[in-house]
């Protein structure tokens, strides 16, 4: 095991070489920060909380607080690197996060930089996860469900909230579980909280039955969830004219420093609508997922752990080939594992958040969404629009949509058609086409019934 601090400071040089810093100025700043931290660390027998406080105190007088926290993040990443290389035993920031049950490092650094660090750290302390009277039952149930292959993330969030509530109200520890749930349901008056409490009740009953199978199953109350669903925001269905306008704006998107960005946004939008892709699916596409000979793209291990191969229309494949040619000319990596949507400024793939920001900005420029805020049409509504417009096209082509719903569900990556039915928003055009089809196909059956009765 190589000790740190090292006299020749080659470890800092190796760490900076592994970072993909965009400019030489960034490398200079990083090197100055880390060399300054090593100057402080060399005066201490170990890398501990006192080392961090001394470094913060020396630099707090000459750096703005926001600058100090930003450069503390540089030190934090370097400490993680040292732990990974087994050069130090532990990162003191990670130790403090675990001790005070804080998920992020920034609050810890802020507390250490305050005039009274110990008091500030005490105020940060969060309840220990699954530390309540029911914590062991819930923790074991989460571990059991995950061992069976379920992600079980949403249910875990419900249980952790309930667990924190029980730790804040120790007087409920001797009460029955039903009484605990009643107090938890009364803690917030919102519709979403009432629906969450009902789902939590069901998950908690399952956890208790795993320990005692003789307990009754109970019947969940569907009314809170129905009340929440009644207030859901209805999806906006983009018309073909809206989609064409969005594509035109994407092609002319102003981007002088990243010439490939307009074509990237155009192709993202095209796939999001024509293939009904989620934003995460767009971001995770690799270059090797595109098969130009077969005219397909492969969507790998997305929601519900599904992988699917989607055939694309010829027009979409023509645009995809044009994008790939422009991507190659821009100097993007050509390996099959490289991101399909690549940006030259970061020399990396677009993240799901970057894809969402880019396409939402196009929605705003098209006037379909307000200049700020979360109101108005959403990016995910493109997926809803793809379903509705496809069914409309089937009606107008004389195809029975009910026969095609299983294929549409498979194309969208759903487990069954019940998930696909959520995407079918009844618009005026869809209602008119359905009524016209019934008039041509089903109305004769009504006349036949009347003749039989006569």
Q: Assess if residue 368 is contained within a domain.
A: yes
Residues 357 and 392 in one domain: no
Q: Are residues 373 and 387 in the same domain?
A: no
Instruction: Give a yes or no: residue 129 inside a domain.
Output: no
pTM of the model: 0.71
pLDDT for 58 equals 93
Domain encompassing residue 178: 135-230
What tens digit of pLDDT does each residue of 338-376 get? 999 998 776 789 999 999 999 999 999 999 999 998 889
- Is 454 part of a structural domain of the chain? no
363 and 419 together in one domain: no
CA angle, residues 241, 243, 248, in degrees to nearest 5:
95
What's the rounded mean pLDDT across residues 155-175? 94
- Indicate if the pLDDT at residue 450 is higher than 70: no
Q: How far apart are CA 347 and CA 332, in angstroms?
A: 8
- Comparing 256-260, 291-295, 300-304, which segment has the lowest mean pLDDT? 300-304
Say yes or no: 36 and 115 in one domain.
Answer: yes
The whole-number pLDDT of residue 441 equals 72
Is residue 305 pLDDT above 80, yes or no?
A: no
CATH number at residue 338: 1.10.443.10
d(CA 150, CA 203) in angstroms, rounded, equals 13
Q: Give yes or no: residues 420 and 443 share one domain.
A: yes
* pLDDT tens track for 310-334: 999 999 999 999 999 999 999 999 9
Lowest pLDDT segment from 271-280, 407-416, 436-445: 436-445
The reply to whether 263 and 361 lie within a common domain is: yes
1 has pLDDT over 50: no
Give the number of other Cβ atoms within 10 Å of residue 260's Cβ: 20
Pairing of β 290-291 and β 342-343: unpaired
Contact between 233 and 345 under an 8 Å Cβ cutoff? The reply is no
Summarised one tens digit per residue, pLDDT across range 378-387 is 999 999 999 9
The reported pLDDT for the residue numbered 446 is 63
**pLDDT at position 434, please?**
84
In a domain, 235, yes or no: no
Last residue of a domain, one of 184, 204, 230: 230
Looking at residue 61, what is its pLDDT? 86
**Whether 84 and 106 share a structural domain:** yes
pLDDT in the model for residue 239 = 93
Consecutive H or E run containing 117: helix 117-124
Same domain, 71 and 172: no
Average pLDDT over the chain reads: 91
Q: What is the pLDDT of residues 39-56, one digit of tens each?
A: 999 999 999 999 999 999
Q: Does 5 reside within a domain? A: no
Question: What SS3 class is residue 27?
Answer: helix
**pLDDT for the residue 114:** 93
- Domain contains 62: yes
Residue where a domain stops, chosen among 377, 395, 426: 377
Q: Tell me, yes or no, whether 390 and 373 share the same domain.
A: no
Q: Is the pLDDT of residue 251 over 60?
A: yes
In whole angstroms, what is the distance from residue 79 CA to residue 85 CA? 10
Do 356 and 250 lie in one domain? The reply is: yes
Question: What's the confidence (pLDDT) of residue 438?
Answer: 79
Between 374 and 187, residue with greater pLDDT = 187
Expressed in angstroms, the distance from the first to the final Cα of the chain is 97
Q: Does residue 278 lie within any of the structural domains?
A: yes
Tell me which of 61, 94, 124 is where a domain ends. 124
* Domain count of the fold of the chain: 4
The pLDDT of residue 78: 95
SS3 label, residue 72: helix
Instruction: Check residues 348 and 195 and name the one with the higher pLDDT.
Output: 195
CA distance 142 to 114: 38
**What confidence score (pLDDT) does residue 174 get?**
92
Using a pLDDT cut of 90, give the percent of the chain over it: 72
Rounded mean pLDDT, 177-188 = 94
- Residue 412 CB partners (closer than 8 Å, separation 6+): 276, 383, 387, 419, 420, 423
User: Is-cis flag, bond preceding 170, omega within 30?
Assistant: no
Q: Mean of the pLDDT values across residues 34-42? A: 94
pLDDT at 443: 62
Neighbours of 41 (CB within 10 A): 22
Residues with catalytic function:
278, 303
Q: Is residue 2 part of a domain?
A: no
Residues 16 and 90 reside in one and the same domain: yes
Residue 103 has pLDDT above 90, yes or no: no
pLDDT of residue 453: 52
pLDDT band at 23 (very low <50, low <70, confident <90, very high): confident
């Amino acid at each position: 095991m190589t000790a740190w601090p090292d006299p020749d400071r080659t470890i800092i040089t190796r760490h900076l070489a592994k970072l993909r810093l965009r400019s030489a100025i960034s490398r200079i700043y990083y090197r100055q920060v880390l060399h300054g931290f090593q100057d402080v660390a060399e005066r201490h027998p170990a890398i501990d909380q006192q080392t961090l406080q001394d470094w913060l105190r020396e630099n707090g007088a000459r750096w703005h607080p926001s600058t100090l926290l930003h450069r503390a993040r540089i030190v934090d990443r370097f400490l993680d690197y040292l732990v990974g290389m087994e050069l130090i035993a532990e990162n003191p920031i990670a130790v403090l996060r675990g001790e005070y049950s804080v998920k992020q490092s920034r609050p810890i650094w802020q507390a250490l930089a305050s005039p009274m660090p110990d008091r500030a750290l005490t105020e940060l302390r969060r309840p220990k996860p699954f530390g309540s009277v029911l914590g062991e039952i819930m923790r074991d149930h989460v571990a059991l469900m995950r061992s069976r292959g379920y992600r079980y993330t949403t249910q875990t969030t419900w249980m952790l909230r309930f667990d924190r509530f029980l730790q804040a109200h120790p007087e409920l520890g001797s009460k029955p579980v039903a009484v605990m749930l009643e107090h938890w349901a009364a803690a917030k008056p919102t519709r979403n909280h009432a629906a969450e409490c009902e789902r939590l009740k069901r998950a908690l009953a399952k956890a208790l039955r795993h320990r005692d199978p003789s307990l009754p199953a109970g019947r969940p109350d569907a009314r809170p969830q129905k009340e929440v669903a009644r207030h859901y925001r209805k999806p906006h269905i983009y018309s073909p004219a809206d989609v064409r306008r969005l594509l035109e704006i994407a092609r002319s998107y102003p981007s002088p420093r990243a010439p490939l960005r307009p074509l990237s946004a155009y192709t993202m939008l095209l796939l999001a609508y024509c293939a009904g892709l989620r934003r995460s699916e767009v971001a995770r596409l690799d270059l090797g997922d595109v098969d130009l000979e077969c005219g397909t793209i492969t969507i790998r291990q997305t929601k519900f752990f599904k992988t699917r191969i989607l055939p694309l229309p010829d027009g979409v494949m023509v645009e995809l080939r044009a994008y790939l040619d422009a991507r190659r000319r821009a100097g993007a990596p050509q390996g099959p594992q490289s991101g399909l949507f690549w940006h030259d400024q970061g020399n990396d793939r677009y993240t799901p958040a970057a894809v969402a920001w880019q396409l939402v900005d196009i929605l705003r420029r098209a006037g379909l969404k307000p200049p700020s805020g979360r109101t108005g049409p959403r990016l995910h509504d493109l997926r809803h629009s793809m379903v509705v417009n496809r069914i409309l096209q089937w009606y107008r082509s004389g195809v029975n949509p009910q026969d095609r719903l299983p294929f549409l569900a498979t194309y969208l990556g759903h487990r069954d058609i019940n998930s696909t039915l959520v995407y079918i928003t009844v618009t005026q055009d869809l209602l008119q086409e359905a009524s016209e089809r019934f008039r041509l196909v089903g109305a004769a059956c009504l006349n036949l019934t009347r003749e039989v009765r006569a």
